[in-house]
Structure formats: C-alpha cells, structure tokens
C-alpha cells in the first residue's frame, strides 16, 4: 500500500513537473523522423498479463519487424534523437503513465515481451508475481547491454542463455527482500548510472 502511494504521488509529480520537457522531446522526435511520438509495445506484467508499455519512439517505424533486440548504440534503426533518448533513458519517461495507471511501479523487474517470457521455466515465472518497474538492479548492471550484444556473434543466444537468466536471478533476489527504502536506493543508483 505504501509502495503504491509512493508510485501515485511521484508519478503525478513527475508528469506535471516534466510536462514542458516532454513537450520539447515531442517536438524533437517529430522534427527528426516520420512516425508517432510514442512507441507502444505489449509487455508482460504482474500475473503474466499483457499490458501496453509506453516509450518515446527512438527507432524508425516498424523497426521491431527485423528483431526485438537492439544491438549496439549505432543500430541503424535508431533515429538521431533516439540515440540520445536511449543514452540518457529519456525514452522511458512516458512509463510514468504506466506507473500512474498501476500497471508498473518505479522499481521492479523490467517487463519482457511475450516471446522471451515463453522461455521462462517455472522458477523464473515467479518474477511475474510483482509489478514490473521502470528500473531495477538488473538494468543498472546491464546498462551497457546493447554493447554486449553488439560484440557477440550470436546476440539472441547471448541474451536468452546468459543475460536474461542473470537478470531474472537478480530480480528474484530483489523480490525476496524488497522494501520502500531499498526501492529509493535503487532509484538513486539508477540516476547516478544515467548521469555518469
């Protein structure tokens, strides 16, 4: 209950406070490339239920047809503005709306697409017992994930066999010992990682 109250209050504050900045990003995206401002993708949330996750569009239209993984910061599908949106995690800001709606939390396991959730074993499915989050400890550890995938001869295999299982393990550890204070620490760590 306290976590949900925290989410509501700070997602509202964030949306109001950042409104002028969000308008500026909207203008930049529209000026930079054709297509909608937002990228909406089905992700898997709490209880193994699908929901629509909002992001600022950072790639060209229909880029996900050629693959769901982004390989390297120089992926040709990424727009000019998208490079910076991704680098500073600004593309994630619209997820404040998902938090306000109650589909996500500020901190929790990053939500996956159904394709990868179908690879979870019974133990790993426990990660879906809590709301997904905008950030988590796994995201901080793998903040250079795109580069790791770019350096691999088999990005898909690296992700499904090594990175994804490790992320799930990190998140299951978080779930077993979570608290609002721990969430605040993770938010601060995330901000530091983005700035640095």
pLDDT digits (tens, 9 = 90+) for 43-59: 999 999 999 999 999 98
Gap between the Cα atoms of 156 and 154, Å rounded: 6
Give residue 117's pLDDT: 97
- The two tokens of residue 165 are 């299982």
Q: Where are the alpha helices (DSSP H) in 18-68?
A: 19-32
CA 95 to chain centre: 8
Question: What is the sign, positive or negative, of the torsion defined by CA atoms of 14, 20, 23, 24?
Answer: negative
DSSP state for residue 161 in the 8-state scheme: I
CB 142 within 8 A of CB 164: no
Give residue 71's pLDDT: 61
The percent helix, strand, coil of the chain (3-state, each to 5) is 60, 10, 30
- The two tokens of residue 66 are 């050629």
- The two tokens of residue 176 are 């077993």
Q: Running along the chain, 196 residues long, what does each successive block of 10 average in pLDDT? A: 94 96 95 91 97 94 66 74 89 96 97 96 97 96 87 91 97 95 95 82
Gap between the Cα atoms of 164 and 117, Å rounded: 10
Give residue 67's pLDDT: 62
CA 127 to chain centre: 15
List the chain domain ranges. 2-195
Q: In the beta sheet, which residues pair with residue 56?
A: 38
Gap between the Cα atoms of 101 and 140, Å rounded: 25
Gap between the Cα atoms of 89 and 191, Å rounded: 10
């Amino acid at each position: 209950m306290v976590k949900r109250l925290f989410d509501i209050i700070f997602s509202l504050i964030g949306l109001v406070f950042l409104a002028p900045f969000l308008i500026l990003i909207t203008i930049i995206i529209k000026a930079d490339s054709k297509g909608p401002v937002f990228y909406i993708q089905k992700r898997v949330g709490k209880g193994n239920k699908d929901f629509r996750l909002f992001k600022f569009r950072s790639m060209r239209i229909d880029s996900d047809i050629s693959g769901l993984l982004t390989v390297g910061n120089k992926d040709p599908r990424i727009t000019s503005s998208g490079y910076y949106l991704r680098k500073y995690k600004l593309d994630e800001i619209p997820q404040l709306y998902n938090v306000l709606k109650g589909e996500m939390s500020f901190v929790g396991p990053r939500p996956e697409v159904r394709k990868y959730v179908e690879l979870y074993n019974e133990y790993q499915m426990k990660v879906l017992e809590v709301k997904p989050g905008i950030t988590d400890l796994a995201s901080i550890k793998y903040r250079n994930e795109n580069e790791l995938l770019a350096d691999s001869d088999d990005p898909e295999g690296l992700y499904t066999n090594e990175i994804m299982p490790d992320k799930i393990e990190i998140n299951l550890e978080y779930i077993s010992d979570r608290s609002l204070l721990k969430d605040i620490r993770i938010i601060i760590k995330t901000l530091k990682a983005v700035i640095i």
